[in-house]
């Protein structure tokens, strides 16, 4: 699960710090469940369309019954876990965060976009043991206050929990309110920033690909790495904010250690 801002980083670390000890105490060595915490740094764009990067946490918290493998989760998924499983289908909540973008950060006199807290849900289906499809939608209740979404597919190769490799395409979407917040330039903003006025519509924001690798080093410890590359398209790519002050290329990378609590592995 990924994050794009320092405030969100602190929140996610706090959630993990609170959850992990509770699991460790409640699920001792002889428990029927295991809990795996993945935590480390990641580097990702500071806001959508940015050519600057911020350091945040690469974090995931998973549980599995003793004798079962941890369920696959892509390293760039939003924060959230399945609430309902029905065969190969699952759905649950999804949370996202985007940090505040100020005029001084972007280098032009454009309106600020406040810290965005996004909440919504996802649905996913395993077409085969090696192929998973997932769709996600979230609404921001602060900041950009728009709708965002993602469609993804992942090919997964693994040897139990000893190692796991995944790779797959990504399509990100945003409505007009979201695109105007980050990529639009109103006539008033054009007069003060020197950028041409631009009124984007909603639709596909970017296309990309994500790859991740997890490796168990010992009974408890492991490592995880991931890389993601997105390319802005459509109105997002045509925005003067991106063309003159940002970048169409949106790479992210992270590396982490994992630790497994409970169970007898």
47-105: pLDDT as tens digits: 999 999 999 999 999 999 888 999 999 999 998 888 998 999 999 999 999 999 998 88
What are 110's two structure tokens? 């454009």
Task: Answer whether residue 28 shows pLDDT above 80.
Answer: no
Q: How far apart are CA 258 and CA 36, in angstroms?
A: 7
What are 121's two structure tokens? 């849900």
Q: In which band, very low, low, confident or very high, does the pLDDT at 13 lie, cut at 50, 70 and 90?
A: very low
**What pLDDT is attached to residue 22?**
36
Instruction: Kindly state the average pLDDT of the residues 25-34.
Output: 55
Phi, psi at 37, each rounded to 5°: -110, 125
Instruction: Kindly state the average pLDDT of the residues 176-193.
Output: 95
Instruction: Kindly state the average pLDDT of the residues 173-182.
Output: 97
Question: What is the CATH architecture of 72-258?
Answer: Beta Barrel (2.40)
- First and final CA of the chain: distance in angstroms? 24
Q: In which band, very low, low, confident or very high, does the pLDDT at 246 lie, cut at 50, 70 and 90?
A: very high
Q: Is the dihedral of CA 104, 106, 107, 112 positive or negative?
A: negative
Task: Tell me the HSE value of 221 on the side-chain side, using a 13 A CA sphere.
Answer: 4
**What pLDDT is attached to residue 2?**
52
Task: Tell me the HSE value of 167 on the side-chain side, using a 13 A CA sphere.
Answer: 4
pTM as predicted:
0.85
């Amino acid at each position: 699960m990924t994050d794009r801002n320092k405030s969100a980083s602190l929140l996610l670390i706090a959630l993990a710090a609170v959850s992990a000890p509770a699991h460790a105490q409640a699920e001792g060595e002889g428990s029927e469940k295991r809990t795996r915490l993945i935590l480390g740094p990641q580097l990702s764009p500071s806001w959508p369309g940015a050519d600057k990067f911020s350091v945040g946490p690469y974090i995931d918290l998973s549980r599995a019954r003793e004798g079962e493998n941890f369920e696959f989760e892509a390293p760039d998924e939003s924060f959230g876990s399945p609430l309902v499983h029905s065969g190969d289908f699952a759905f649950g909540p999804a949370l996202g965060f985007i940090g505040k973008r100020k005029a001084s950060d972007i280098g032009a006199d454009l309106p600020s976009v406040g810290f965005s807290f996004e909440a919504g849900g996802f649905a996913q289906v395993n077409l085969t043991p090696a192929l998973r499809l997932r769709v996600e939608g979230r609404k921001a209740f602060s900041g950009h206050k728009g709708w965002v979404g993602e469609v993804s597919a992942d090919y997964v190769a693994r040897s139990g929990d000893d190692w796991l490799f995944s790779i797959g395409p990504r399509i990100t979407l945003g409505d007009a309110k979201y695109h105007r917040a980050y990529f639009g330039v109103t006539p008033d903003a054009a007069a003060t920033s020197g950028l041409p006025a631009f009124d984007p519509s909603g639709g596909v924001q970017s296309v990309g690909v994500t790859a991740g690798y997890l490796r168990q080093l010992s009974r408890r410890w492991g490592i995880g790495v991931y890389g993601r590359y997105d390319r802005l398209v459509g109105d997002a790519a045509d925005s003067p904010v991106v063309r003159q002050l940002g970048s169409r290329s949106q790479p992210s990378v992270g590396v982490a250690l994992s630790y497994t609590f409970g169970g007898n592995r």
